[in-house]
Chain A
Amino acid sequence: MFYYKQKESNTNVSKTANSRADITLDSTLLPPTTGSVIGVALNNKQLAASLETAFNEKPHVQPPKTPVLHIKTDNTHIGYGHSIKVPNDKGAVFAGPSLGIVIGKKATRVPAENALDFVQGFTIVNEVSLAETSFYRPAVKAKCRDTFCPIGPWTVDKSLIETPNQLAIKTLINGSIVHETSTDQLIYPVEEIVSYISSFITLEEGDVIIAGTPQRNAELEIKPGDSVTIEIEEIGSLTNPVEQE
């Protein structure tokens, strides 16, 4: 089952389809959920390895003991085909390919063993960000600009995903593959992320967790005029044009 939301004569309609071929990919699509969107930063083995020295220096002093969380506010959420708006005076802007974990029912203090019982399925998130020079203070300026969080095009029911912790993720800019990673690069896998967050944040149906983004190097930079696609095995492709704010 595929769950999605679409704009029809100015109302937002929730829909389902048995096959992704039954869903027309266009900019009438909205993010498939309307809940909170919480991201896990630094949850990538290669990225964490590259920061090992910085983690042990000031101001961080020691590596993170728990998953590092951030919030993508509602103004950032856009659907398939909607434009990511890039400011002209804030430096480089980067795509952030990630698996999105969609919560299916209220989850408070869920053990990792049962975590998937509280998950409806999976979606694709492009967690767009300005460059981050430090991870010491909350990344509101870097991550919470309008349109900086495309989500979609749909949520795939979890029954259709063999294991969420082994999905290939490709980023394409203007049709060319620029970056490849996999959810096997997550330091904390899907079940542990849901369990950890629910240990102090009650997750609600429709909330989305951004499982983890890779290091933002030059190949992930997006510019006005580009079209950026995040493609995740067994889920689909999320494409958004990029324009000047």
Chain B
Amino acid sequence: MKSARILFNNDTLNVTVNDQDQVVTAEGKVLEEGTFTWLPPCEGKMFVLAINYADHAAELSFKAPEEPLVFLKNKNSLIGHDQQTFRPDNVDYMHYECELVVVIGKEAKNVSQEDAMDYVGGYTVGNDYAIRDYLENYYRPNLRVKSRDTCTPIGPYLVDAKDVKDPHNLMLRTYINGELKQEGNTKDLVFNIPHLIAYLSDIMTLTPGDMIFTGTPEGLADVKPGDVVVTEVEGVGVLKNTIISETDYLNTLNQ
């Protein structure tokens, strides 16, 4: 089953998505694309893995870490499918990061790797934009790089865990304006999903809706206003996002 949250006639609705990728309301009504706004399909803590693909580590001239390198995002950065992300004026390098997002399904504390998959509620697609100009060597990657308004598209929907047969063998792809730019496979995760859940639940209690962005493979590129960025995880979803200028973003705030 696929579940989503949308804004329809100013109401937030929990809906399902059928096999034709159509949105179906609780009353069974099919909504036409364009008559509603996609919202993030989950709410909770947001963990993101840095350098969790060996090829991406090499790309960044890092050696893969010895334990998961986790940072946090704030909820301000989340937006749904088919929304707009702004690129600040006067920056040199803003890139996407296509990621499989694991969503926690039940409370987890001190969970072993053997039991960890029982705590997964579902999966979705995340695009963890970064603005490298703002990197500083304090709590790196710092919030100014990673937790910006509009900078974390997620969705379109949540796929139930039981419907993803092997989350450790899924292709990830990113296209800019239709051109394939990034490609990888979750089989190359440095720390796999059970490892991440065990690691995090040893530190703290995880609760339903918490999201683990599992990291991105190599293939980063700069994005500019006007670009349509599509991030895709095989069997989980195709997440579309459009880059706009800071000026256009500021105009949306004044509307």
Residues of A within 8 A of B (CB): 36, 38, 41-42, 59-62, 64-66, 68-71, 73-76, 108-109, 135-141, 144-146, 200-204
Interface centre among B73, B138, B142 (most CB of A within 10 A): B138
| CB pair B148 A136 closer than 8 Å | no
Give Cα A79–Cα B144 distance, bound, in whole angstroms. 29
Give the residues in chain B near A74, CB-CB below 8 Å. 45, 207
| CB pair B148 A137 closer than 8 Å | no
Query: From A36, which residue of chain B is reached at the shortest CB distance?
Result: B74
Query: From A41, which residue of chain B is reached at the shortest CB distance?
Result: B139
Give the residues in chain B near A139, CB-CB below 8 Å. 139
Instruction: Write the nearest CB–CB distance from A105 to chain B, whole angstroms.
Output: 15
The contact of B203 among A42, A65, A141, by CB within 8 Å, is A141
Query: From B200, which residue of chain A is reached at the shortest CB distance?
Result: A140
Give the residues in chain B near A36, CB-CB below 8 Å. 74-76
Q: Does B85 reach chain A (CB closer than 8 Å)?
A: no
Which one of B17-25, B34-42, B64-72 contacts A? B64-72
Contacts A64-B136, A69-B142, A201-B143 given; indicate if A138 touches B71 (C-beta within 8 A). Answer: yes
| CB pair A138 B137 closer than 8 Å | no
Give the residues in chain A near B207, CB-CB below 8 Å. 74-75
| CB pair A108 B74 closer than 8 Å | no
| CB pair A201 B253 closer than 8 Å | no
Interface string of B132-149 (1 = CB under 8 A from A): 000011111111100111
Give Cα A9–Cα B159 distance, bound, in whole angstroms. 36
Contacts A137-B69, A146-B205, A200-B144 given; indicate if A65 touches B136 (C-beta within 8 A). Answer: yes
| CB pair A60 B74 closer than 8 Å | no
Give Cα A108–Cα B76 distance, bound, in whole angstroms. 10
Give the residues in chain A near B144, CB-CB below 8 Å. 66, 69, 200
| CB pair B71 A140 closer than 8 Å | yes
The contact of A201 among B109, B148, B204, by CB within 8 Å, is B148
Task: Name 9 extra pairs, CB < 8 A, besides A36-B76, A139-B139, A200-B143.
Answer: A65-B136, A68-B136, A71-B72, A74-B207, A135-B138, A138-B141, A200-B148, A200-B149, A202-B76
Give the residues in chain B near A64, CB-CB below 8 Å. 136, 138
- Chain B residues 115 to 146 lying within 8 A of chain A, measured CB to CB, are 136-144
Give Cα A202–Cα B140 distance, bound, in whole angstroms. 21
Contacts A38-B74, A202-B76 given; indicate if A59 touches B137 (C-beta within 8 A). Answer: yes
Interface centre among B76, B77, B205, B207 (most CB of A within 10 A): B76
The contact of A41 among B76, B138, B204, by CB within 8 Å, is B138
Interface centre among A41, A61, A145, A201 (most CB of B within 10 A): A201
Give Cα A188–Cα B172 distance, bound, in whole angstroms. 42
Give the residues in chain A near B74, CB-CB below 8 Å. 36, 38, 71, 201
| CB pair A145 B204 closer than 8 Å | yes
| CB pair A145 B149 closer than 8 Å | no
| CB pair A68 B142 closer than 8 Å | yes
Instruction: Write the nearest CB–CB distance from B52 to chain A, whole angstroms.
Output: 14
Query: From B109, which residue of chain A is reached at the shortest CB distance?
Result: A146
| CB pair A69 B203 closer than 8 Å | no
Give Cα A201–Cα B151 distance, bound, in whole angstroms. 10
| CB pair B204 A42 closer than 8 Å | no
Instruction: Write the nearest CB–CB distance from B198 to chain A, whole angstroms.
Output: 14
| CB pair A201 B138 closer than 8 Å | no
Give the residues in chain A near B76, CB-CB below 8 Å. 36, 201-204
Query: From B45, which residue of chain A is reached at the shortest CB distance?
Result: A73
Can you list 29 contacts pairing A with B, beta carbon distance less than 8 Å? A36-B75, A41-B138, A60-B138, A64-B136, A66-B136, A68-B138, A69-B139, A69-B142, A69-B143, A69-B144, A71-B143, A73-B45, A74-B207, A75-B204, A75-B207, A136-B137, A136-B139, A137-B69, A137-B139, A137-B140, A138-B72, A138-B141, A140-B203, A144-B203, A200-B143, A200-B148, A201-B143, A202-B76, A204-B76
